[in-house]
Amino acid sequence: MPNADDIRGMFFEECDDLMEALFEGLNLLENDEAEDDTVNAIFRSVHSIKGGAGAFKLDDLVSFAHKFETVLDELRAERINADAPLIAVMFGAADHLAHLIEACRDDGEIDLDRGTALLSDLDGYISADNSPGDDFVFEPMALDFGELEAAPPPDDVVGIQFQPFAKLYQNGHDPLLLIAALKARGTLEVAVDHAALPSLSDYNPDDPKLVFSMTFSAQDAELVVEEVFEFVEGICRLEVTPIISDDPPPPGDFNDFETTIDAPADDHDVPTDLPDFEPEAEQTIAPAPQPDAPPAKPAAEAKSGKSSGKGESTAAQPTLRVELDKVDRLINTVGELIINQAMIAQRIDQLELPGDSDLEADMTDYKMLARDLQEGVMSIRAQPVKTLFQRMARITREAGSATGKSVRMNMIGESTEVDKTVIERLADPLTHMIRNAVDHGLESKEKRIESGKPETGEISLSASHSSGNVKIDVADDGAGLNRERILDIAITKGLIPKDSDLPDAEIDKLLFLQGFSTNDEVSELSGRGVGMDVVKRGVEALGGRISIASTPGKGTKFSIVLPLTLAVMDGIVISVARETMIVPITAVIETLRPEAVDVHHIGKDQKMLMIRGEYVPIVSVRARLGMTDPIQEADEKVLVLVEGSDHKRCALCVDGIQDQRQVVIKAVGGNYGHIPGVSAATIMGNGQIALILDTDHLSTTDDAHLAMPVSPAERGLIAP
């Protein structure tokens, strides 16, 4: 049995999916692309969140969701229209719902003020268009069924057929408690039908056979029944039939109902009298039918929606939740398979078989299969950026309301798939960029109107795949960068020399310098002293690059280019002291063979490289890593010019450059700890390990490890 925490975790995971569906629906509404079922889908999401939250006694969440749901119900019944203000309120409510879910999950603070304001907004939609109180819930029934409206009975009488399924018991529910709960709310007569019960010898405790027939009378009986049985939806057969006749028939009448497992649920087929319960000949094994909610209520549709999915605008693909760990193990194994395949191929080559050997063809097939397998496995980790984008849309709205600007977000390519970890770690940099775009990028309403732009600013967020990378653009249609001011600020803050004359592109890049913030006033949103440099570092930590393009009066666009996955990296394969190593390509500016005149000596050992009017220190990787090799270094060396994340450049002196290729990043195991100058390792095609160099560390000058002698390098190796 999963414990309570697991179930709680599952609930919150489900909430993520539900919120995604909710935002998707709201976006459709906003863009006027709503279909018949859109509102229902939104309603279902909120309703499911409410239901789940109720089970965990998350009262704040339940009460807010309930209010939201009520408004959605109004919308669904077409008593109110989804106009722009309502959509804005609903977006606000959805944002708050997301906030509440997060707060509940992390036991965080709940922003009560915002909730209260939203609640009153929502209330506006309920009370303005409706008679208050319980009546409105029944209004749809009145609309559809004139006779009920004509003479509403003081007490509704309903016949209930309740047959718990095995699942109900497995989930820890107790029919007795449900019946007792019902009894507490009205007058109840219960009869149990045990005809289907087998003899004791054939009795299977896991296969419940009991059917309860009840006659229940109370105010709003159907609603009460619905509430009581809310949490056993789908795990029992529940049929609620309004009984118009004043004399409730004896419960015994239901006894005909023996073996019926599944009476087809039809929301609109309203029996006006006692239904004729014919024993169904056929037993359905299909999933539990949804409880027959009161037929005339639109809610019935929503309830059954989740499993039936009828009229869903976008049919959701069935998904499977798998622990990330399992996927990673699979990826590892497949990676090893690829290496193994390469090794076998090498061995076969060495055999020098005749050219027409079948083995060659088979090897090619093997290689193709292995690659397919790897791609397939890698794609498991990939997820659409949709959730991330929706979160950003929320941030855009929040930023818009905080700055008093009218903003809308335009999302392109939300279905682009990116590695899960990349998505998670992109959230912070993107949040920053979006806030910046709204706060600094977009002009105020007045200025926009002045310059002939629409009042509402637009932030567009797009994702696309390009040549093995993922490109994410954040663009605004604001005023563009004010280069004069950027230059001014950079000079005032002493970031660049006074009389600097920089080309536009270089000025734009100043934004990424540490301690740069263009807004004069430090606003609540951005400008906390941390700026684009944090974004840049965040992106670089993911092995990506960021660039900026701006047109005065038209807007600014930031582009992030990221590797598809963190597990793979492009690198330059170099050799140092007979070892193979990798330099991450993101750090490499160029590779070169220096002319003797460009190399200058400082002191005894230090050398500088003169490149394009700049002196760059030459760092010997061999010395830096404390490697000794009997073969003396040749003077004619190959240099790899690298730039660290702090913009410091240095020229790494290596013995040779072999190749440029994608490598799979592996951590050094065994709790070995940090290795200075090395960030990770990878396995080459021949099964040998190559270390991935940490260029940031190599380019820093102070290093305590320089003096350490290393002996094991010359260890005699025994051929395997």
Partner 1 sequence: MTDETTAPVGGVLECVSFSVNGQTYCLNIMSIREIRRWANVTTLPHADSHVLGVINLRGNVIPVYDLAVHFGLGKTADGQRNVVIIADIEGESIGLLVESVSEILTVARTDVQETPPLGKDGHDSLIEGLITVGDEMVQLIDLRTISMNRESAAA
Contacting positions for partner 1 (CB under 8 A): 332-333, 335-336, 339, 579, 624-627, 666-673, 675-678, 681, 683, 687-691, 705, 708, 710-713, 715-718, 720
**Whether the Cβ atoms of residue 681 and residue 583 lie closer than 8 Å to each other:** no
Report the residue number, 597 or 708, with the smaller CB distance to partner 1.
708
Report the residue number, 169 or 366, with the smaller CB distance to partner 1.
366
Across the beta sheet with 678-683, the strand order is 656-664, 568-576, 579-584, 689-693, 678-683
Report the residue number, 603 or 709, with the smaller CB distance to partner 1.
709
Report the residue number, 151 or 718, with the smaller CB distance to partner 1.
718
Report the residue number, 33 or 336, with the smaller CB distance to partner 1.
336
Q: List alpha helices for 135-231, DSSP H.
A: 135-144, 146-150, 166-170, 175-183, 221-228
110 half-sphere exposure, CB direction, 13 A CA radius: 17
Q: How far is the CB of 689 from partner 1 (least distance, A)?
A: 4
Greatest Cα-to-Cα distance within the chain, rounded to the nearest angstrom: 110
Q: How far is the CB of 382 from partner 1 (least distance, A)?
A: 21
Q: How far is the CB of 693 from partner 1 (least distance, A)?
A: 10
What the block records as the tokens of 7 is 């179930």
Nearest to 655 by CA among 631, 681, 685, 688: 631
Q: How far is the CB of 683 from partner 1 (least distance, A)?
A: 5
Q: How far is the CB of 714 from partner 1 (least distance, A)?
A: 9
d(C-alpha 264, C-alpha 692), whole Å? 63
Q: How far is CA 669 from CA 335, 567, 581, 582, in A?
A: 16, 16, 18, 18
**Whether the Cβ atoms of residue 674 and residue 694 lie closer than 8 Å to each other:** no
In the block, residue with structure tokens 């409206």:
149
Q: How far is the CB of 574 from partner 1 (least distance, A)?
A: 14
**Whether the Cβ atoms of residue 445 and residue 524 lie closer than 8 Å to each other:** no
Q: How far is the CB of 221 from partner 1 (least distance, A)?
A: 59
Report the residue number, 39 or 665, with the smaller CB distance to partner 1.
665
Beta partners for residue 111, in sequence order: none
Nearest to 156 by CA among 211, 226, 256, 213: 226
Amino acid at 404: G
Report the residue number, 497 or 670, with the smaller CB distance to partner 1.
670
Report the residue number, 483 or 697, with the smaller CB distance to partner 1.
697
Q: How far is the CB of 672 from partner 1 (least distance, A)?
A: 5
Q: How far is the CB of 582 from partner 1 (least distance, A)?
A: 12
Report the residue number, 410 or 700, with the smaller CB distance to partner 1.
700
Q: How far is the CB of 339 from partner 1 (least distance, A)?
A: 7
Report the residue number, 371 or 528, with the smaller CB distance to partner 1.
371
Q: How far is the CB of 570 from partner 1 (least distance, A)?
A: 19
Residues 6+ apart with CB under 8 A from 399: 407, 434, 435, 438, 439, 525
Report the residue number, 3 or 671, with the smaller CB distance to partner 1.
671
Report the residue number, 249 or 626, with the smaller CB distance to partner 1.
626
d(C-alpha 53, C-alpha 45), whole Å? 12
Pairing of β 606-611 and β 614-620: antiparallel
Report the residue number, 593 or 715, with the smaller CB distance to partner 1.
715
Q: How far is the CB of 715 from partner 1 (least distance, A)?
A: 7
Q: Is 156 left (phi over 0), alpha (psi -120 to 50) or beta?
A: beta
Q: How far is the CB of 605 from partner 1 (least distance, A)?
A: 18
Across the beta sheet with 599-602, the strand order is 588-592, 638-643, 649-654, 614-620, 606-611, 599-602
Report the residue number, 126 or 683, with the smaller CB distance to partner 1.
683
In the block, residue with structure tokens 């459709």:
28
202 half-sphere exposure, CB direction, 13 A CA radius: 6
Per DSSP, 252 falls in state G
Per DSSP, 57 falls in state T
Q: Is 686 exposed, middle or buried (0-12, 13-18, 19+ CB in 10 A)?
A: exposed
Report the residue number, 201 or 711, with the smaller CB distance to partner 1.
711
Q: How far is the CB of 365 from partner 1 (least distance, A)?
A: 22
60: enclosing H helix or E strand = helix 59-76
Q: How far is the CB of 335 from partner 1 (least distance, A)?
A: 6
Nearest to 586 by CA among 535, 643, 537: 643
Q: CA angle 632-634-635, nearest 5°?
A: 130
Radius of gyration of the chain measured on its C-alpha atoms: 34
